[in-house]
Amino acid sequence: MINFGRPRRQRTTRRVALCAFAATAMLAADMSIAADEPLSSGGEPVVRRLLPDQYRNIVADIFGTDIEIGGRFEPDIREDGLLAVGASRVSVTGSGLAQYDAIARGIAEQAVDEKHRALLMPCVPASVNAPDEECARTALARAGLHLYRRPLTDEELDLRVNAATEATKILGDFYQGFALSLGGMLSSPQFLFRTERSEPDPDYPGHHRLDGYSKAERLSFFLWNTSPDTELLEAAASGALHTEKGLLKQANRLLASSRVEDGVRAFFEDMLHFDRFATFSKDAAIYPKFTNDATEASREQTLRTIVEVLLTDKGDYRDLFTTRKTFLNPLMGSVYGVPVPKITANGAPDPWVPHTYPADDPRAAGILMHASFTALHSHPGRTSPTLRGKAIREILMCQHVPDPPGDVEFTVVQDTENPVYKTARTRLEAHATEPMCTGCHKITDPMGLAMENFDAAAGFRTTENGEVIDTSGSIDGKVFNNAVELGQVIHDHPAVTNCLVNRVYAYAAGREPTKGEGEWMKYLKSTFVENGHRYPDLMRTIVTSDAFYRVAEPQTQDARAK
Amino acid sequence: MSAITRMASRRRVLKGALNGGVVTLGLPFLNGFLNENGTALAATGQALPSCFGTWFQGLGLSPGFWEPKEAGVIREMPMQLKPLEAFKDKINVYSGMRVFLDSHPPKVHATGAIAVMGGGIPDDDNGAFPSIDTLIADHIGTRTRFRSLEVSCNGQRFAYSRKSASAANPAETSPMALYQRIFGPDFQDPNAADFTPDPKTMARKSVLSAFGEERQGLMRELGSEDRSRLDEYFTALRELENQLNLELQRPAPLDACTVPENSEEGTHSMVIDHAAADNRLFSKLLAHALACGQTRVINIVFDSAGGNLRTAGSPVTFHIHTHEEPVDPAIGLQRQVAWFQEQCMMALNDTLTALDSIREGDGTVLDRIVMMYGTDTGFAKFHSVENMPMFTYGGAGGRMKTGIHVPANGDTTSRVGLTIMQALGLPVSRWGTESNDTSRTITEVMA
């Protein structure tokens, strides 16, 4: 059997029992999902290259969680703030395909080995040394359904069976020949690219919608960060996804599953630029505690906090910037100076324990004071209020901070031994008196300076070079005295809410919202606010909408031929 | 119009140009296999083909300290090129060249790098023109196992090598992984006594060929922008098929080819000593790959644009030094910056030494390659893209004269790229966009 009941990776957080009440209420309301939703013209269907975690999740779902994926994927690019949007721009290079091919062959060889073959193969070949077209056809059709997120066409299946047959003849081994054809599927464009297809909408003549399988794909990748499972594919095949009842049933099923945590994690990893952790390091001599393990733990700490606030507690998205709750393990405890007892035996992984900062703790300022933000947006050996402020503007408010101009004199900014300018604030103020620099630094630095109590490796400090750090400032007319108050200002800033909604929709659709989706986006934002800024409700509004599956008339060769 | 469409259009135009649509100035292709003296011969009696490479380092050098005093033959290496003293006769220096920004807002560090490597400035962040190495690889790299090989010594996977906005060649960051790619189980030793085609390679090729037949059907389902992306995929597939084809043929013997010992893993970090060590490991492997006919195009990133390298234990990166350090009036240089630049030139010396240490007949691998130095600024302190340091190393198999300083005050950096392409026999009469477009070959260095 295709293994869709795979055990999830071990986490100590509570499982998410999500919105069962809301789901029931919505089903009972029946057919009301689009009642007040404004019409949307949609955008063109997109073609997205699979992101590495999506690739890994699919392989684990289909072939088993213990399949090792060796090699490195082509680097992704970030567009409009998201890798998920950049995925709609990238292709595959020659050296990149060679690496996909090597990864695919490695996976296929494991999938047909004696340990895993029963999961993959619904049949036993008549001979292990000769082609068995019938058996190969059955197995390739079944794996293909999940790899391609749709049934293979007759031509596709014939080609793959013939490829397996020819390879078997050359190698004299059924499983090796089969594995090469399977590996070919894993590096084929139908697998590597999520290609959306559209069809005329019989309910709205003259308009187009995504076809059933493309709908299933959007749902599944957005909510679970993997390809559709068997039940969702069946709903696509039967046409049920085109009915409101069928769509609600599947959306609620996916939202109620613990796997929605994968979808939430994937979105926030993308939005918060956590891909940068792959090449991130701190200077070991200056910050000996900030090891590679701490880098990985920083990321995990924030994702756990997000899951706790948004899913487990069903909290307000904005509370991420004020919450006193987080999770710590002994390593991160040492980074922040919070004792966390090491209670496991030698060799066992350290547990994550919930931690709530006291109300008056200056570190109790939400996820922005986590190392995943303060350390990520610093230099290897020193802080940068400008980088931190820029990150808040660009990542959380979707605002663009212009690049610095050429011909700038920076000498004073980073001279930490300057006897006059002892703190980052005084150095930056001296620099920002330059007229050409003032404009941009005004929009970045005040927020970054409020975070100066956190050094470049997230450690807490109150002085720099013996001088007390001044963390006061203001943005957009709102005054704050420290990081905790900055968190509240960010919490209340309307750009933060609007930005999240834009990012989530762009992430799910693989592109920025189009002009024709303007009214729909306004509706989405107001609904999010009315629902108390609840992230699961935002996901639900999107996946149960008409707008999410509405597409502009496609410009394909096939469409033009018709 | 989207950037992909623009890129694709330009690419098509360039491809058209390369197919002879523009006046052809280059040498006939077969001459690409002959060197000036006909001495660097393979065991088969055929001349060894010329090669191309890039070596990239962020933040450039310090103006006034890398330019030879006199035009023409380089008699004395300027201060910042002293680490390359051993290669005085194999280097060309082009001074006074600049990147023209035209109406493009300068993106500090990115703009200069992209313009040097791609001949122009694209309109958006991820948009880019084909880089020079991919244009050259399309011409000289189609009959080798690897069309090109990219490496990066600082752990970052970006290689300044791209065919379009949607297809950037990723850099290998692990010397050990590079070793496996080149000299692992799929390597066919050209000097092996026996040759037996591997049945598994035959089977793989048969499967890949079958999948390649689906191109037309898949293209029909897509809009124009996505069709060019899919086209790039199928181009990649053909490259992979070509690679397998070559593995199934008995390779021509190459006297100079020896298989190096398995490489160390390397450190892939931004500490400059680590990057220098990785550069030595990579350079050795790439020199052997060239000698063994595995590729004709290599790209080495020692450090990225913007200069992320630092010394262990210091909170200050090379980049920060360029902006914060005052110029020492006694020497007219930023001392720390000059130190980092010296380390970069020492690393470049390591690369040239690796290429020059493999003898092929009367010459060396360095003699039949031409390497282009790439960087992002002419004066990092102010993000200037004027007076960009531009160098070439090696004689392209006798097709370029070496040991020459060419002052080219105010000219676009694209002249260097154009000259290299013509020396390597590409049928191009001009290169670059807007004010960085040029048809002026640097005749002083053409053999």
Check residue A92 and report its DSSP letter. -
* pLDDT higher than threshold 80 for residue A349: no
What would the mean pLDDT of A271-281 be, rounded to a whole number? 89
Least confident interval from A242-256, A399-413, A542-556, B33-47: B33-47
> Confidence band (pLDDT; 50, 70, 90) for B9?
very low
Chain-chain contact of A77 with B164 (C-beta, under 8 angstroms): no
Interface A:B, Cβ pairs < 8 A:
209
Interfacial A residues in 372-411 facing B (CB < 8 Å): 379-382, 403-408, 410-411
Most confident of A57-66, A346-355, B223-232: A57-66
A292-337 pLDDT tens trace: 888 889 999 999 999 999 999 999 999 999 999 999 999 999 999 8
Nearest to B320 among A163, A379, A404 (CB): A379
Chain B closest-CA separation from residue A418 CA (Å) = 11
Chain-chain contact of A554 with B312 (C-beta, under 8 angstroms): no
Question: β-strands A353-356, A325-328: how paired?
Answer: antiparallel
Least confident interval from A19-23, A498-502, B426-430: A19-23
Chain-chain contact of B315 with A195 (C-beta, under 8 angstroms): no
Cβ atoms B302, B344 nearer than 8 A: yes
Nearest to A285 among B237, B243, B313 (CB): B313
* pLDDT higher than threshold 70 for residue A31: no
What would the mean pLDDT of B311-322 be, rounded to a whole number? 88
Pick among A50, A73, A93, A199 to test the B interface (most B CBs inside 10 A)? A93
Chain-chain contact of A183 with B237 (C-beta, under 8 angstroms): no
Query: Average model confidence (pLDDT) for chain B?
Result: 87
pLDDT for A345 equals 66
> Confidence band (pLDDT; 50, 70, 90) for B39?
very low
A108-144 pLDDT tens trace: 999 999 999 999 999 999 999 999 999 999 999 999 9
Taking contacts as CB-CB distances below 8 angstroms, the residues of chain B near A180 are 203-204, 207
Nearest to B210 among A159, A177, A189 (CB): A159
Say how far apart CA B154 and CA B59 lie, in whole Å. 14
* Percent of chain A's residues with pLDDT above 70: 87
Q: In terms of DSSP H, where are the helices of A194-243? A: 212-224, 230-238
B391, containing H or E segment: strand B388-393
Cβ atoms B203, A180 nearer than 8 A: yes
> Confidence band (pLDDT; 50, 70, 90) for A270?
very high
B379 → chain A, closest CA residue: A407
> Confidence band (pLDDT; 50, 70, 90) for B220?
confident
pLDDT for A415 equals 52
Nearest to B265 by CA among B352, B155, B145, B358: B155
Q: Which residue has the higher pLDDT, A24 or B72?
A: B72
A442-499 pLDDT tens trace: 878 889 999 999 999 999 999 888 888 998 999 888 999 999 999 999 999 999 999 9
> Confidence band (pLDDT; 50, 70, 90) for B157?
confident
B149 → chain A, closest CA residue: A95
pLDDT for A556 equals 67
Nearest to A184 among B211, B236, B385 (CB): B211
* pLDDT higher than threshold 70 for residue B253: yes
* pLDDT higher than threshold 70 for residue B21: no
Three-state DSSP class for residue A291: coil
Residue in the structure block whose two tokens are 């914060």: B324
Query: Average model confidence (pLDDT) for chain A?
Result: 87
* pLDDT higher than threshold 50 for residue B40: no
What burial letters (b/e) apply to B72-107, b meaning 16+ CB within 10 Å? Answer: eebeebbebbbbbeebbebbbbbbbbbbbbeeeebb
Strand partners, B170: B158
What would the mean pLDDT of A505-523 be, rounded to a whole number? 96
Nearest to A279 among B156, B164, B203 (CB): B156
> Confidence band (pLDDT; 50, 70, 90) for A5?
very low
* pLDDT higher than threshold 70 for residue A548: yes
* pLDDT higher than threshold 50 for residue A29: no
B6: exposed, middle or buried (Cβ count in 10 Å: 0-12, 13-18, 19+): middle
Chain A closest-CA separation from residue B347 CA (Å) = 22
pLDDT for A420 equals 62
B44-91 pLDDT tens trace: 556 799 999 999 999 999 999 999 999 999 999 999 999 999 999 999
Say how far apart CA A452 and CA A471 lie, in whole Å. 7
pLDDT for B107 equals 81
Say how far apart CA A73 and CA B34 lie, in whole Å. 38
* Percent of chain B's residues with pLDDT above 70: 89
Backbone φ and ψ for A332, nearest 5 degrees, come out as: -70, -30
> Confidence band (pLDDT; 50, 70, 90) for A347?
low
Chain A closest-CA separation from residue B8 CA (Å) = 12
Nearest to B232 among A91, A412, A556 (CB): A91
Chain-chain contact of B167 with A92 (C-beta, under 8 angstroms): yes
Question: Tokens at residue B328, please?
Answer: 């020492």
pLDDT for A6 equals 35
Chain A closest-CA separation from residue B370 CA (Å) = 22
Our measurement of the distance from residue B123's CA atom to the centroid of its chain's CA atoms, rounded to an integer in Å, reads: 23
Chain A closest-CA separation from residue B113 CA (Å) = 15
pLDDT for A230 equals 97
Question: Tokens at residue B333, please?
Answer: 């240089």
Taking contacts as CB-CB distances below 8 angstroms, the residues of chain B near A101 are 208, 240
Chain A closest-CA separation from residue B42 CA (Å) = 27
A147-198 pLDDT tens trace: 999 999 999 999 999 999 999 999 999 999 999 999 999 999 999 999 999 9
Chain A closest-CA separation from residue B352 CA (Å) = 25
pLDDT for A497 equals 97
pLDDT for B25 equals 30
A97 interfacial to chain B (CB closer than 8 Å): yes
Q: Which residue has the higher pLDDT, A555 or A292?
A: A292
> Confidence band (pLDDT; 50, 70, 90) for A417?
low
Chain-chain contact of B170 with A95 (C-beta, under 8 angstroms): yes
Q: At what angle do helices B3-16 and B224-247 cross, to 10 degrees?
A: 50
Say how far apart CA B115 and CA B106 lie, in whole Å. 11
Question: Tokens at residue B218, please?
Answer: 């898949």
A61-106 pLDDT tens trace: 999 999 999 888 888 999 999 999 999 999 998 888 988 999 999 9
Most confident of A76-80, A95-99, B305-309, B380-384: A76-80
Nearest to B168 by CA among A529, A470, A114, A90: A90
A89 interfacial to chain B (CB closer than 8 Å): yes
B371, containing H or E segment: strand B369-374
Chain-chain contact of B211 with A415 (C-beta, under 8 angstroms): no
Q: Which residue has the higher pLDDT, B324 or A91?
A: A91
Chain A closest-CA separation from residue B178 CA (Å) = 11
What would the mean pLDDT of A531-536 be, rounded to a whole number? 97
Taking contacts as CB-CB distances below 8 angstroms, the residues of chain A near B107 are 403
Chain-chain contact of B199 with A170 (C-beta, under 8 angstroms): yes
Say how far apart CA B287 and CA B358 lie, in whole Å. 7
pLDDT for B127 equals 59
Chain-chain contact of B323 with A414 (C-beta, under 8 angstroms): yes
What would the mean pLDDT of B232-245 be, rounded to a whole number? 92
* pLDDT higher than threshold 60 for residue B24: no
Taking contacts as CB-CB distances below 8 angstroms, the residues of chain A near B316 are 381-382, 414
A291 interfacial to chain B (CB closer than 8 Å): no
Beta strands in B132-182 (DSSP E): 149-152, 158-164, 167-170
Assign residue B7 a region: left if phi > 0, alpha if psi is -120 to 50, beta otherwise?
Answer: alpha
* pLDDT higher than threshold 80 for residue B320: yes
